[in-house]
């Protein structure tokens, strides 16, 4: 008879996750008791939940530990990403409060689904095991499949849902099968144990291990919308409700990049001759495809979709640079990933916030060539904000996007990947074409006066815009604060 | 008992059939079945690697995959049904308003 020893459960390590999950369940229940006319209360409750979860992150800072039989790793790196994903969730909830009334999708399930998706993102961020990682990814994805198709009866939204669903589960198949091969080669799925097992030459050179890692990277490629696995992105981003697009373009990327860094730096650092060239190629293709395809887009949501593909390429450059054997170079590269994702969160959510602010009941202003001409005359502040976010996404000083690109390219050059930095600079110049085009259109004179613009900006949306503009500006003018914060989040990651 | 390598080969074959199925078929239901085939190939591979290495964890992981796949089925079928309601067809070629 073998004695079964119950594993020690350190639930405190995952407080933010539990808070969000409990909040989601409570919102789901509250929906039963709240009359339909007062549903926006649910949104504010969900927002409160994410703020409480943010507060519970604070005591975990500098208080890192492994928990749940090493399945979960709570360290400053994880907490940094937990704070960014929760911040993105809070901003997305604020974005949605008025938008879902406008789009007539103000159902009680919206906010719980957003919170459940946030639970999946947090699980990804804290995961120290491939199994927990793919469970987190599925919790996140299942929530987003539903949210993408949330406008029932709307064909575009349904199409977005089915495309996202089919390609998402396809990539999940690759991820799980790849995990099973890695398990077969090394006998473990735990990142820490994997690193130990890879000390053995036989494991390191085993074809099972390499094929498994390749399949897992394909799965990552789909989820991060890296070219050539990006084909679903523009359709899903443009068909989904705009508030959902904002949420998934930011939240998914932040959480999945966290997991990718965790995998390559703590799980398989010794295989860097294998993953670094693969990610190198993905980064080059992604930067080129994303930025070139965005130039021809007429729909602003499709343009922002391609732009987000291009941005993922730049972040990937820094991930590649983190393979440097020199410790401080590698740490600088990881720091630039963190800073870039933080900047990307604010500038991308901000851009979508303006698109939402210009929407009216039954009609969103999405067509760049007609809907955005002359907007600046009626809404100087909204146009100014969108122009500012476009400059930031394009990497023009004094914005967060400029500092982010600068740190990424500097890290790439320091790690002897100057050709990646070169491709990055060239594609950034191409990218200016479509970012600046939006600004030019907004400030050009309209042939006829547009009169169906909304008169005012609802308060929650104004808060989101203010936060995003201030943060983008602050990170652009005084980046030291955010860079220091990212620096402190590194200590466990660096080898 | 068949040698363990047969199981690995079978799981690789199942995974390949699943992948090809998703790529060439046009009906979302069949594509979805192919995806399930890929996941079950992974389950078989987890279970047989667990057996080969005399570990239990692989079998437990297979249970996790089954649970996740079940949740996916629920959402996936709901999406397919709602598409069928509004179009009376589920062929992926008909679902192409958004060009990409």
- What is the CA angle B43-A124-A77, rounded to 5? 140
How far is it, in rounded angstroms, from Cα A344 to Cα A342?
Answer: 5
pLDDT category, A372, cuts 50, 70, 90? confident
Pick from B41, B72, B75: CB nearest A177: B41
Chain B hits for A161, CB-CB cut-off 8 Å, are 79, 82-83
Does B69 reside within a domain? yes
Q: Which residues of B touch A (CB under 8 A)?
A: 8, 11, 15, 18-19, 22, 28, 31-32, 35, 38-39, 41-43, 45-46, 49, 52-53, 55, 57-58, 61, 64-65, 68, 71-72, 75-76, 78-80, 82-83, 86-87, 92, 95-100
Tokens of A196: 């130990």
Average pLDDT rounded to a whole number, residues A450-472? 88
**pTM across the whole model:** 0.94
Q: Which CATH number covers residue B18?
A: 1.10.287.3510
Chain segment A405-427, per-residue pLDDT in tens: 999 999 999 999 999 999 999 99
Bridge partners of B19? Answer: none
Residue B100 has pLDDT above 60, yes or no: no
Does B47 reside within a domain? yes
CA A105 to chain centre: 24
Residue A450 has pLDDT above 70, yes or no: no
- Which among A145, A156, A42 has a CA at the least distance from the CA of A96? A42
Chain B hits for A152, CB-CB cut-off 8 Å, are 82
Chain B hits for A289, CB-CB cut-off 8 Å, are none
* Residue A75 backbone dihedrals phi, psi, to 5 degrees: -140, 180
Tokens of A50: 């994410």
Q: Is-cis flag, bond preceding A334, omega within 30?
A: no
Pick from B15, B32, B82: CB nearest A177: B15
Does B16 reside within a domain? yes
| Mutation site for A-interface testing, chosen from B20, B75, B90 by largest number of A Cβ within 10 Å | B75
Average pLDDT of chain B to the nearest whole number = 89
Chain segment B1-42, per-residue pLDDT in tens: 678 889 999 999 999 999 999 999 888 889 999 999 999 999
Chain segment A207-229, per-residue pLDDT in tens: 999 999 999 999 999 999 998 99
Does B98 reside within a domain? no
CA A39 to chain centre: 27
- Which among A149, A93, A84, A83 has a CA at the least distance from the CA of A116? A93
Residue with tokens 């507060």: A55
Q: Would you state the pLDDT for residue A175?
A: 96
For residue A129, give the 3-state DSSP assignment: strand
Residue with tokens 């919102």: A27
Partner-chain contact A138 B72, CB within 8 Å: yes
Average pLDDT rounded to a whole number, residues A27-38? 89
- Given a contact cutoff of 8 angstroms between Cβ atoms, the answer to whether A324 and A330 are in contact is yes
Partner-chain contact B100 A235, CB within 8 Å: yes
Give every CB contact of residue A448 below 8 A, 6+ residues apart in sequence: none
Q: Please count the structural domains in chain B.
A: 1
- Given a contact cutoff of 8 angstroms between Cβ atoms, the answer to whether A137 and A223 are in contact is yes
Average pLDDT of chain A to the nearest whole number = 91
For residue B10, the enclosing domain spans 4-92
Bridge partners of A360? Answer: A363
**The pairing of beta strand A65-67 with beta strand A72-74:** antiparallel
Which ipTM score applies to this complex? 0.94
How far is it, in rounded angstroms, from Cα A261 to Cα A271?
Answer: 13
pLDDT category, B90, cuts 50, 70, 90? low
Does B97 reside within a domain? no
Q: Would you state the pLDDT for residue A183?
A: 95
For residue A367, give the 3-state DSSP assignment: strand
Does B81 reside within a domain? yes
Tokens of A232: 């679903």
How far is it, in rounded angstroms, from Cα A366 to Cα A371?
Answer: 7
| Mutation site for A-interface testing, chosen from B24, B37, B45, B47 by largest number of A Cβ within 10 Å | B45
The Cβ-side half-sphere exposure at A1, using a 13 Å CA radius, reads 1
- Which among A101, A30, A82 has a CA at the least distance from the CA of A454? A101
Does B58 reside within a domain? yes
Chain segment A269-284, per-residue pLDDT in tens: 889 889 999 999 999 9
Chain segment A48-62, per-residue pLDDT in tens: 999 999 999 999 988
Instruction: State the nearest Cα–Cα gap between A141 and chain B, in angstroms.
Output: 9
- Given a contact cutoff of 8 angstroms between Cβ atoms, the answer to whether A254 and A84 are in contact is yes
Q: Which residues of A touch B (CB under 8 A)?
A: 131, 134-135, 138, 142, 145-146, 149, 152-153, 155-156, 158-163, 165-166, 169-170, 172-174, 176-177, 179-181, 183-184, 187-189, 231-232, 234-235, 238-239, 302
Chain segment A97-155, per-residue pLDDT in tens: 989 988 888 888 999 999 999 999 999 999 999 999 999 999 999 999 999 999 888 88
- Which among A215, A476, A102, A420 has a CA at the least distance from the CA of B42? A215
pLDDT category, A436, cuts 50, 70, 90? very high
pLDDT category, A89, cuts 50, 70, 90? very high
Burial class (CB in 10 A: 0-12, 13-18, 19+), A26: middle
| Mutation site for A-interface testing, chosen from B13, B29, B42 by largest number of A Cβ within 10 Å | B42
Does B34 reside within a domain? yes
Partner-chain contact A165 B75, CB within 8 Å: yes
């Amino acid at each position: 008879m073998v004695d079964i020893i119950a594993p020690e459960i350190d639930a405190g390590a995952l407080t933010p996750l539990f808070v969000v999950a409990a909040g989601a369940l409570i919102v789901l229940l509250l929906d039963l008791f709240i009359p339909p006319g007062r549903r926006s209360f649910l949104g504010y409750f969900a927002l409160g939940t994410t703020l409480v979860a943010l507060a519970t992150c604070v005591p975990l800072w500098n208080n890192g530990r492994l928990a749940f039989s090493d399945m979960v790793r709570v360290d400053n790196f994880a907490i940094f990403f937990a704070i960014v994903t929760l911040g993105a969730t809070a901003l997305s909830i604020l974005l949605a409060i008025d938008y879902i009334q406008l789009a007539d999708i103000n159902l009680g399930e919206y906010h719980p689904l957003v919170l459940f998706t946030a639970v999946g993102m947090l699980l990804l961020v804290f995961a120290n095991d491939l199994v927990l990682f793919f469970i987190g990814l599925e919790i996140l994805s299942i929530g987003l499949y539903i949210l993408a198709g949330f406008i029932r009866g709307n064909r575009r939204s349904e199409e977005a849902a089915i495309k996202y669903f089919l390609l998402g589960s396809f990539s999940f198949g690759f991820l799980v099968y790849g995990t099973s091969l890695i398990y077969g080669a090394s006998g473990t799925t735990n990142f820490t144990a994997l690193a130990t097992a890879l000390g053995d030459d036989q494991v390191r050179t085993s074809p099972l291990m390499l094929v498994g890692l390749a399949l897992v990277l394909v799965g990552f490629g789909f989820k991060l919308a890296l070219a050539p696995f990006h084909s679903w992105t523009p359709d899903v981003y443009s068909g989904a409700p705009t508030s959902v697009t904002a949420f998934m373009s930011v939240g998914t990327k932040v959480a999945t990049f966290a997991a990718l860094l965790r995998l390559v730096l703590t799980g398989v650092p010794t295989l860097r001759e294998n993953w670094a060239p693969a990610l190198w190629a993905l980064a080059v293709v992604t930067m080129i495809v994303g930025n070139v395809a965005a130039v021809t887009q007429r729909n602003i949501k499709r343009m922002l979709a391609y732009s987000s593909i291009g941005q993922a390429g730049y972040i990937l450059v820094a991930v590649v640079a983190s393979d440097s054997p020199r410790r401080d170079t590698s740490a600088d590269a990881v720091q630039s990933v963190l800073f870039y994702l933080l900047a990307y969160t604010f500038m991308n959510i901000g851009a979508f916030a303006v698109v939402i602010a210009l929407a009216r009941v039954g009609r969103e202003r999405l067509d760049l060539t007609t809907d955005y001409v002359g907007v600046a005359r009626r809404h100087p502040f909204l146009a100014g904000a969108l122009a500012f976010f476009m400059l930031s996404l394009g990497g023009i000083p004094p914005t967060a996007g400029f500092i982010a690109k600068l740190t990424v390219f500097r890290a790439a050059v320091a790690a002897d990947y100057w050709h990646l930095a070169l491709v990055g600079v060239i594609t950034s110049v191409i990218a200016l074409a479509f970012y600046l085009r939006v600004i030019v259109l907004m400030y050009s004179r309209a042939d006829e006066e547009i009169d169906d613009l909304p008169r005012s900006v609802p308060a929650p949306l104004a808060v989101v815009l203010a936060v995003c503009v201030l943060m983008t500006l602050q990170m652009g003018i005084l980046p030291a604060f955010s860079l220091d914060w990212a620096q402190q989040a590194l200590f466990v990651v660096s080898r | 008992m068949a040698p363990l390598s047969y199981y690995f080969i079978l799981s690789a074959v199942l995974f390949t059939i699943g992948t090809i199925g998703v790529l060439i078929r046009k009906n979302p239901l069949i594509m979805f079945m192919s995806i399930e085939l890929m996941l079950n190939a992974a389950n078989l591979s987890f279970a047989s690697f667990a057996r080969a290495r005399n570990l239990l964890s692989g079998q437990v992981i297979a249970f996790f995959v089954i649970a996740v796949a079940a949740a996916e089925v629920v959402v996936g079928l709901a999406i397919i049904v709602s598409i069928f309601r509004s179009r009376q067809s589920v062929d992926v070629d008909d679902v192409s308003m958004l060009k990409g």
